[in-house]
Structure 1
Amino acid sequence: MSHNVLVVDDEPKLCDLLSSALTQNDVHVFTAGNGLQALAILEQEDIDLVISDWRMPGMDGPQLLAEVKVRYPQLPVIVMTAYSTVKNAVQSMRNGAYDYIAKPFDIDELDITVSKALQFRDIVRDNARMRAELDEHQHIDSLVGESPSFRRVLQAIDSVRDSSATILLTGESGTGKEMVARAIHRHGSRADKPFVAVNCAAIPEGLLESEMFGHRKGAFTGAVADRVGRFMQADKGTLFLDEVGDMPLALQAKILRALQERVIEPVGDPRERKVDVRVIAATNKNLLEAVANKEFREDLYYPLNVFPIPLPALRERVEDIAPLARHFAHNLGATAGKRISGFSPSALQAMTQYNWPGNIRELQNCVERATIVAQSSTIEDSDLPPYLFSAQPLQSSSLLTPEVCVPPDLEAALAEVEKAYILAALQQAQGVQAAAAQLIGISERSFWYRLKKLDIHVDKIAR
């Protein structure tokens, strides 16, 4: 297995010596002249081991060690120090260094020390991978439900899982788009290959192209080393583009070329690279509406929409609320060391009558809170958050009759309901937006968007 090692020393000859010695053992070596350069490389590259000198201009070895332990706590660091300053080595071990090498060093001793550090790194990675797989199992197991609308989702997953066709997942925030993407990957023909997720709304626009396609060293200020982009990381596997509707127009043209021709061009590198990636995109936006408003490229929409899978909101699958809640209570109770057997009838009634604007994510947060405060093995309605009882009861569309008053403007009516939930959450959170967003199971960014859309001024909320 190949490893990436970062050698940090202000003596170029020593860096060259170490590079020559280490590359013989299937190791790719990066070099830096001081701690600041080393941190820049660590931000760009997936480094398995740092070998750092003790004395360097600018940021020295002890300062670099401290920064690495804060930013990358599982990354082993070997410190190089002179025989006359063994006390420095002892101090570095106390501060979290994996080991030390005394200069001038013996090549065989160096090989042994480096091999042990890399074995340690592999063990840490394997443990992290196994934990991720367990988490992924939990996510996939969360695809719970027997409602007709959700059964259609499961049938679509089964139909497309072995295909390389591009998939577009649509639905409101919190409906489980990433869970579905992971299920498609894990149960398909690419399951043993990488699953790489990118949130297109969370990466600054200026960095998105480099993030997606990678870059060459020196391509722009701060590009101190070559970087592999997400498309190459996902080669032979699945690339999940979350919130694809928020992708800048300039990048959309390059994504289109990657989808159509299956080639990418890293920033600063004129050479094309072939990639074999199955793309799953997701959005909570109406992309056709975005196309009409010139916010999304029409020629990208159709290649993304090869196999669309719309995910229903939780209020559209009311019959799944109870089994989902039991599933979350079972898993979260076990994590918290509690044995939760279920919910009281009144608690289930309150949950099925609530509108769940934050969908499955909000339901999970609600059950987690109830699991924490529950005093017995059964979750009672008193264990549920108060905002569930301050909203209007949910009425299933199947219960509508000609006698039911249908609002003349559905969008306006839905906006009023959404505004009521937002205001109730703000009241309960005493005007703290982050807390209110958590209460209803949506991100702060989504919460701020809704405040602006609904013209809600937080400073006017009574505290």
Structure 2
Amino acid sequence: MTHNVLVVDDEPKLCDLLASALSQNGIVVFTAGNGLHALKVLECEDIDLVISDWRMPGMDGPQLLAEIKSRFPQLPVIVMTAYSTVKNAVQSMRNGAFDYIAKPFDIDELDITVNKALQFRDILKDNQRMRAELDEHRQIDSLIGDSPSFRRVLHAIDSVRESNATILLTGESGTGKEMVARAIHTHGNRADKPFVAVNCAAIPEGLLESEMFGHRKGAFTGAVADRVGRFQQADKGTLFLDEIGEMPLALQAKILRALQERVIEPVGDPRERKVDVRVIAATNKNLLDAVANKEFREDLYYRLNVFPIPLPALRERVEDIAPLARHFAHTLGAAAGKRFSGFSAQALQAMARYSWPGNIRELQNCVERATIVASGAVIEEEDLPAYLFASSSADGGTLIAEGSVPADLEAALAEVEKTYILAALAQSNGVQAAAAQLIGISERSFWYRLKKLGIHVDKIVR
């Protein structure tokens, strides 16, 4: 594993000496001439260890140590001092320094102290990763649903999670593509390695290549130090490329080469670096249309589309709305110190009628608002946002806009019927007799409709 070490000293020759000594062990060394410069480097780079002089003009070693412990509490600091008194050493350790070395120092002693500090940093990082992975395991609980379309997604995850195949997740915005990517990583053969997510649409085009592959110091204006790119950060793990359809054509060729040959070339560095990365890409675009319009490389599309997983829109899995809403109400309510027993039938009906253009993300936001305004243990229809009812009539029926006649009346009526049956089942906790009574039909008629509509009572009710 490559480590980044920041050396802080107002003597340039000493900085060069330390950089030369440490780089022999494969360490990437950053330097700063004073404490203020050091803080700027820490804000921009992922530093694993700081080695700082004790006495410097402006912000001295003790002041820098205090700032680091305040802003980066888990970052180890080794203090150097030519004034190697017991008082200084004890004071630095009390203030949070990992260790200290005295000038002039022995190179072997320096190596031992640095290695101990970096091992300590690795342990902290592993603990953070383990906690993050536990959080991810808890997030897998959010992959809730038993609709046929979502069962196909779960089956695909189970089929591909142990492989190293490149995966392309497609679907509308808010359908949970990153959550699915994390589920594949967490339950796959790289679970103990990094998961690195990149939103290709959120990074300026001019910085995207550097962000992906890294750069060497001086490669371009503003490149004040070497930088490790996302491919290297994800080495041995998973790289999630979200919004891959927004990637510029010029960079697509380099991404293709990285996928085909498993090598990258940092900006300003002609040396190739091998990487072992499992790539999961995601897009809400139709990439075949983008290929036809010369907006996306055809060869990259087929390289990414090794194992496609299309994610259904929420309106295509209406039966999953109630269990998802209950899950969000439970988790969001607990975070706010509230406890909810569920939703009223009217609230569930309102959510089932809505088209959810923002999909699961929009449903979560809706439920979060409802948990804030709800005064009782049951979330009522009036607790839901007003926009859910913008397309509904006063008596609860769905308005049909002028000229908006359904092409398939039977299918449209079946969806309405399914919505009310699911809401009744949710209110009755899956008791069919009670659900039939709620909507005013016989148990036999209710059972017939369950079979006709393909509703599995023991599965959908939680």
| Structure-1-length-normalised TM-score | 0.73
The answer on whether the counterparts of 2:262 and 2:274 sit within 8 Å (CA) in structure 1 is yes
Residue identity matched to 1:309: I
Aligned to 1:196: 196
How much does 1:159 deviate? 2.0
Equivalent runs, 1:42-441 vs 2, <5 Å: 42=42, 45-53=45-53, 56=56, 72=72, 74-77=74-77, 98=97, 121-122=121-122, 124-392=124-392, 405-406=405-406
Contact in 2 for aligned 1:41/1:224 (Cα 8 Å): no
Mapped to 2, the partners of 1:272 and 1:112 lie a distance apart of: 31
String of CA shifts for 1:302-356, please: whole Å, max 9, x gaps.
2112221111111111100001111122222333333222112122112111221
2: CA distance, partners of 1:100 / 1:262: 39
CA distance in 1, matches of 2:100, 2:241: 44
Structure 1 residues not aligned, in runs of 5+: 394-399, 409-463
Deviations 1:220-261 (A, max 9, x none): 223233322211222222211000011111101111111222
CA distance in 2 between partners of 1:91 and 1:193 (Å): 38
- 1:160–1:265 distance in 2 versus 1, CA, 3 Å: same
SS in 2 for 1:303: helix
How far has the Cα of 1:173 moved from its partner?
A: 0.9
CA RMSD of aligned residues (A): 3.8
Counting aligned pairs with the same residue, the percent is 83
In 2: Cα distance, 1:111 partner to 1:14 partner: 16
Q: Distance in 2 between matches of 1:249 and 1:68?
A: 41
Q: Is the 8 A contact 1:52 1:77 kept in 2?
A: yes
CA distance in 2, matches of 1:122, 1:142: 30
Over 3 Å counting, the alpha-carbon distance change for 1:121 and 1:265 in structure 2 is closer
State how far apart, in whole Å, the 2-side matches of 1:315 and 1:185 are: 27
2:443 — aligned with what? none
One-letter code aligned to 1:186: T
What amino acid does structure 2 have at the position aligned with 1:389?
A: F
Question: Which amino acid in 2 is paired with 1:214?
Answer: G
AA partner of residue 329 (structure 1): A
Q: In terms of mean alpha carbon deviation, does 34-43 or 97-106 score higher?
A: 97-106
Q: Which moved more, 1:31-40 or 1:357-366?
A: 31-40
Cα distance in 2 for partners of 1:164, 1:112 equals: 38
Are the aligned partners of 1:190 and 1:237 in contact in 2 as well (CA < 8 Å)? yes
Q: Structure 2: which 5+ runs fail to align?
A: 394-399, 409-462
Aligned-partner Cα distance in 1 for 2:227–2:144: 39
Greater shift, 257-266 or 383-392, is seen at 383-392
Quote the offset at 1:71 in angstroms: 6.0
Kindly indicate whether the alpha-carbon contact (under 8 Å) linking 1:99 and 1:113 is maintained by their aligned counterparts in 2. no
Cα drift, residue 201 of structure 1: 0.9
Could you tell which deviates more after superposition, 378-387 or 283-292?
378-387
**Distance change (3 Å), C-alpha of 1:381 and 1:110:** farther
| Structure with max Cα Rg | 2
Question: Matches of 1:102 and 1:155 in 2, distance apart?
Answer: 56
Report the AA paired with residue 215 of structure 2. H
TM-score where L is the length of structure 2 = 0.73
Correspondence for 1:419: none
SS of match in other structure, 2:146: coil
Q: Measure the CA separation in 2 of the matches of 1:40 and 1:9.
A: 15
Are the counterparts in 2 of residues 328 and 367 from structure 1 also a CA contact under 8 Å? yes
Alpha-carbon shift at residue 391 of structure 1 (Å): 3.5
Counterpart for residue 429 of structure 2: none
1:372-399 C-alpha deviation (Å, 9 max, x unpaired) = 3333322222322222223348xxxxxx
1:167–1:281 Cα contact (<8 Å) kept = yes
Question: 1-side partners of 2:26 and 2:307: how far apart?
Answer: 42
**Preserved CA contact (<8 Å) 2:84 2:102:** no
Distance 1:89 1:354, change over 3 A: farther
* AA partner of residue 337 (structure 1): G
Q: Once the 2 structures are TM-superposed, how far is the Cα of residue 33 of structure 1 from its aligned partner?
A: 2.2
Q: Distance in 2 between matches of 1:313 and 1:264?
A: 36
CA deviation map 1:392-426 (0-9, x unaligned): 48xxxxxx9xx981389xxxxxxxxxxxxxxxxxx
Aligned residues: 399
For the structure 1 residues 67 and 200, does the alpha-carbon distance in structure 2 shift closer, same or farther, using more than 3 Å as the test? farther
- Give how far 1:148 is off: 1.0
- CA–CA distance in structure 1, aligned partners of residues 59 and 204 of structure 2: 28
CA separation in 1, counterparts of 2:341 and 2:327?
10
Q: Secondary structure at the match of 1:15?
A: helix
Residue 372 of structure 1: SS of its match in structure 2? helix
Question: What letter matches 1:197 in structure 2?
Answer: A
- What code does the residue aligned with 2:136 have? E
Q: Is the 8 A contact 1:214 1:229 kept in 2?
A: yes
Match of 1:412 in 2: none
